[in-house]
Amino acid sequence: MSFETKSTIATFGGKLLKLSHTSTTTKTPMNVNLYLPPASSTTKVPVLIYLSGLTCTPDNCSEKGFFHAAASAAGIAILYPDTSPRGANLPGETDSWDFGAGAGFYINATVEPWSGHYNMESYVTSELPEAIFEQFGDKLDSGRVSITGHSMGGHGALTLFLKNPGKYRSVSALAPICNPSQCPWGKKTFAGYFGTRDKEEWKKHDATELVKGWKHDGGKLPLLIDVGTGDNFYKQGQLLPENLEKAVKEAGVEGVKFRYQEDYDHSYYFISSFAKDHVEHAAKYLF
Ligand SMILES: N[C@@H](CCC(=O)N[C@@H](CSC=O)C(=O)NCC(=O)O)C(=O)O
């Protein structure tokens, strides 16, 4: 389904397009933002997908993530999907901020009624990029795509990269949920979207479990992770980066960089402080 352009905003020499389309995957209208750097008016540019965290729409990072200065300089487009279907009208969908609306977790739910709409993994890996490259094929290079994200979106970036070897050139994450089957957010979500009967199924959507089987590219993983030491969600055990770090080491996976940033919290003050590094990390693999 083609995109309607709701608004076009000039920023850092490029354009931020606020788009909307009807998704056949989620069976709802979906909003998505696309930043086109100035280079896209003369050449096809690569794309960095940014997956947002709990409660976010495509606007949070577009407005206060400060990715556009670096993306403009590097000549990289940024695609900001929404974090869940909206308006599916499922019972309980808007009862809590960490499940349902705004909390799609970039997985395909298998439990009803969520399975009818909450298929954000298929939406982000297939329907959305296919539709974007069809409509903006003169500006975007479908063969050069990287992925990044924050918190729940960091979990999305890590798992979608690890589940789809070769689909993305690189991956990075800011304060990602690294071991969802072991943290409160992940346990609540996986129980709700997958059920509790088969916990082995949960492991297929957990970066710490997935990295143990990473063999692609000779075991090299082009991953950058930043976590703030003043992040309350980190302190509460929602992120568990040390579990992923340990799994990476034990599996002999190479090329991964973990950085613990002194005093930074979980907010967009943290994200915007390191946005440039994440664009430049992607640029190393996209050019
Ligand atoms: N309950 C609060 C906190 C929600 C929150 O902090 N969300 C983060 C992501 S947390 C992990 O995925 C976020 O990015 N919020 C948006 C923002 O602009 O800061 C709430 O309801 O806000």
Predicted confidence at residue 1, as pLDDT, reads 64
Give the alpha-carbon dihedral of 103, 76, 44, 60, to 10 degrees.
Answer: 30
What range defines the domain where residue 61 resides? 4-286
Task: Using a pLDDT cut of 90, give the percent of the chain over it.
Answer: 99
Cβ atoms of residues 238 and 266 within 8 Å: no
Q: Quick one: DSSP state of residue 267?
A: S
Residue (of 88, 107, 73) closest to 26 by Cα position: 88
Q: Which residues are catalytic?
A: 151, 231, 266
Give the nearest ligand 1 atom to 64 CA: 18
Check pocket membership of 269 for ligand 1, CB cut-off 6 A: no
Confidence class for position 51, pLDDT limits 50, 70, 90: very high
Mean pLDDT of the chain: 98
| 195-to-135, 170, 207 alpha-carbon distances in Å | 37, 31, 19
Q: Which atom of ligand 1 is nearest to the CA of 152?
A: 12
What is the distance in A from the centroid of ligand 1 to the CA of 85?
A: 17
C-alpha 251 – ligand 1 centre gap (Å): 32
| Alpha-carbon span 99 to 111, nearest angstrom | 14
Mean local confidence (pLDDT), 45-54: 98
Residue 250 CA, ligand 1 centroid: distance in Å: 32
Residue matched to tokens 């297929």: 204
Residue 38: CATH number of its domain: 3.40.50.1820
pLDDT at 80 over 90: yes
> With bands split at pLDDT 50, 70 and 90, how would you rate the model's confidence at 155?
very high
Are residues 31 and 14 in contact, defined by beta-carbon separation less than 8 angstroms?
no
Cβ proximity of 68 and 273 under 8 Å: no
Please check whether residue 218 is in contact with residue 191, taking contact to mean a CB–CB distance below 8 angstroms.
Answer: no
Q: What is the pLDDT of residues 185-223, one digit of tens each?
A: 999 999 999 999 999 999 999 999 999 999 999 999 999
| pLDDT, mean of residues 75-81 | 98
Mean pLDDT of 72-100: 97
Q: Give pLDDT tens digits for 10-45.
A: 999 999 999 999 999 999 999 999 999 999 999 999
First to last CA, the chain: 30
Count up the domains in the chain and report the number: 1
pLDDT at 84 > cutoff 70: yes
Q: Which residues are CB-contacts of 166 (< 8 A; sequence separation ≥ 6)? A: 216
The pTM of the full predicted model, rounded to 2 decimals, is 0.98
